Amino acid sequence: MLLPFLPADVYGESVQKTTNQTQASEPKAADIFAARRHLYESIGQMTQVPWYRLAAIDQYERTITRAHPKDRKHPERLTGIFLTSPAWRGWLNPDETDQHPQSILFFNGKGRDGSGDGIADPNNDLDVLYSMASIIQQYGNKSEDFGIGLWEYYHNSRAVQRIQQFAKLYEHFDNLDLFGHAFPVPLGTNYSYRSTWGTKRSWGGYRIHEGTDIFAPHGLPVRSTCYGIVEIKGWNPFGGWRIGIRDLNNHYHYYAHLSGFDKGVRIGDVVTPGQVVGWVGSSGYGKPGTQGKFPPHLHYGIYRDSGLHEWSFDPYPLLRHWEQEERSQRNKKSK
């Protein structure tokens, strides 16, 4: 059973309540993840596309819809995949509501019947995911074939990279629920922070501060806040020794001014919430190795990907939430 009545907006946040539903009647996030996993595995068996690759495409599409909700609006369903009406039925198809698989195929449309009911419904989860799997599967089942298929569909190297990263996470953990978080430095240690996003910066030219500064002693461990993939690691003239991690919400987590990195963390590695990735320092504002131009602290920023561009947003509310959540969980375990 694919539970088509479940809302599809699960991104690691709580399922939103409606005024006409009680909390007891609302579907749980675990049920939604289970229904999606069943959907991915069902279509995977039909098309020989591994479930984690289908899950990665679906999650990427979901993040792009969050960035462009008006352009990609569709009825509530399990899948986040969006195909325009012309792409679904075929660009030269005169029938704008065509759901007949044979005529859609004749006009080179992408829509397929995955449910076996003889209809290619653009809002049926089985049909939508089967259609996407059919597009990707025609290029082959090897890892490199998957990348080619993604490129031929999206023609966007950023999309290809993101989906491959997501697939790696899903395959590694064999789990869809990878949205837990941790505070970037250990609780109970000596640190302080406040909202500093958007303040002016002058070194290197006028710019705004795109993150929150967490002041802490030199050498304090810096931890991954999320399940993610290490995307960048090395020196940046502004951020000094820095590391960047991509999560399944398509958020880029940026840790800067480090004194060094954990030797076991490399570009392309999978990381988990709370895993040490480096240490607080005062590096940056110059050539590689520049230190001490400001007090030791961690610059922590988050960037959202729109598909073609990235922009920063204030991480302070999330930091406060993760700090409180981790403290609450730790207190429960100590009882």
Splitting the chain (335 residues) into consecutive groups of 10 residues, what average pLDDT does each group show? 45 42 65 97 97 98 95 93 96 96 97 97 97 96 95 96 98 98 97 84 60 96 98 94 98 97 96 98 94 95 91 94 95 82
What local confidence, expressed as pLDDT, does residue 3 receive? 44
Percentage of the chain beyond pLDDT 90 is: 82
What local confidence, expressed as pLDDT, does residue 1 receive? 42
HEC string of the chain equals: CCCCCCCCCCCCCCCCCCCCCCHHHCCCHHHHHHHHHHHHHHHHHHHCCCHHHHHHHHHHHHHHHHHCCCCCCCCCCCCCCCCCHHHHHCCCCCCCCCCCHHHHHHCCCCCCCCCCCCCCCCCCHHHHHHHHHHHHHCCCCCHHHHHHHHHHHHCCHHHHHHHHHHHHHHHHHCCCCCCCECCCCCCCCCCEECCCCCCEECCCCCEECCCEEEECCCCCEEECCECEEEEEEEEECCCEEEEEEEECCCEEEEEEEEEEECCCCCCCCEECCCCEEEEEECECCCCCCCECCCCCEEEEEEEEECCCCEEEECCHHHHHHHHHHHHHHHHHHHC
What local confidence, expressed as pLDDT, does residue 309 receive? 87
- Residue spans of the domains in the chain: they are 29-173, 192-334
Report pLDDT digits (tens) over 64-101: 999 999 999 999 999 999 999 999 999 999 999 999 99
What local confidence, expressed as pLDDT, does residue 207 receive? 59
What local confidence, expressed as pLDDT, does residue 2 receive? 47
What local confidence, expressed as pLDDT, does residue 197 receive? 78
- CATH class (in words) of the domain with range 192-334: mainly beta
